């Protein structure tokens, strides 16, 4: 089953520095029909104004994946890590038994990003953080595994039987993906427009996939795709 979720139907929050859209229940937005999808618990679509961001705050027992769409985000945490993740690149924080961190837009422009939370296979354990560059040219016309708990080479590690993938397509290019019966998929279009199994998705629309499906994507215009395959 494929359920299309339009960007205009997402939960929203806005203040003087953050414009957020929520795919699932989060913070003050609550929809009992959208509490997650498999082990994917959060998918937030954030726009953060320059020289602002999330002050230090805590997490535990969650795999937190940040995909930067435009601009850059600067991370700092209680483990002593500090790093800047730029557009197209990915960072992963395994919160483990607990960690404090901040996420700051130190740039002169808005930063836009997707932040995903995936429930770990086991609670506790040491927290960790890592980041990696994923040049868009290297995933042109094909899937690249950005983060995974299944051991793929080059992917940032997460603590769950799940994978976060990315791809870019030029107008007219096609791409497919097969989801097995016992898994869940969640696809969000970061940019452009595509046809997915006969449905048109435009930038920041989503598709929630349950059970066995073969996804057939055709780019209507140049497109950037982020996808989660999880139990």
CATH of the domain at 200: 2.60.120.10
Spatial contact of 53 and 102, defined as CB atoms under 8 Å apart: yes
**What domain range includes position 15?**
10-134
Q: Kindly state the tokens that stand for 56.
A: 């230090």
- Supply angle C-alpha 166, 167, 172, rounded to 5: 155
* Domain co-membership, 200 together with 129: no
* Domain co-membership, 169 together with 222: yes
Spatial contact of 204 and 179, defined as CB atoms under 8 Å apart: no
pLDDT tens per residue across span 11-35: 999 999 999 999 999 999 999 999 9
Q: Tell me, yes or no, whether 67 lies in a domain.
A: yes
Q: Kindly state the tokens that stand for 47.
A: 């726009």
Q: Tell me, yes or no, whether 69 lies in a domain.
A: yes
3-state SS class at 128:
strand
Q: What is the number of structural domains in the chain?
A: 2
What letter does residue 26 receive in the DSSP assignment?
B
* Domain co-membership, 78 together with 130: yes
Q: Rounded mean pLDDT of the chain?
A: 98
State mean pLDDT over 121-125: 98
Predicted pLDDT of residue 202:
98
The owner of tokens 């937005």 is 29
pLDDT tens per residue across span 4-17: 999 999 999 999 99
* Domain co-membership, 222 together with 118: no
State mean pLDDT over 154-175: 98
Q: Kindly state the tokens that stand for 119.
A: 């429930």
Domain end (from 81, 116, 134) = 134
């Amino acid at each position: 089953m494929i359920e299309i979720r339009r960007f205009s139907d997402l939960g929203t929050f806005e203040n003087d520095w953050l414009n957020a859209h929520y795919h699932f229940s989060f913070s003050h937005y609550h929809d009992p029909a959208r509490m997650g999808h498999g082990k994917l618990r959060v998918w937030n679509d954030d726009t953060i104004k320059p020289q602002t961001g999330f002050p230090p705050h805590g997490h535990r027992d969650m795999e937190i994946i940040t995909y930067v769409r435009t601009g850059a985000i600067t991370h700092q945490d209680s483990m002593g890590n500090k790093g800047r993740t730029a557009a197209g690149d990915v960072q992963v924080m395994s919160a483990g038994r607990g960690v404090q961190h901040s996420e700051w837009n130190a740039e002169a422009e808005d930063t836009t990003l997707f932040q995903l939370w995936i429930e770990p296979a086991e609670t506790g354990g040491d927290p960790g953080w890592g980041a990696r560059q994923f040049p868009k040219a290297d995933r042109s016309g094909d899937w690249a595994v950005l983060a995974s708990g299944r051991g793929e080479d080059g992917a940032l590690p997460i603590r769950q039987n799940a994978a976060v993938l990315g791809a870019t397509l030029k107008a007219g290019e096609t791409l497919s993906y097969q989801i097995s019966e016992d898994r869940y998929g969640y696809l969000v279009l970061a940019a452009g427009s595509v046809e997915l199994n006969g449905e048109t998705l435009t930038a920041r629309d989503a598709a929630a996939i349950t059970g066995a499906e073969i996804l057939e994507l055709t780019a209507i215009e140049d497109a950037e795709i982020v996808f989660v395959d999880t139990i």
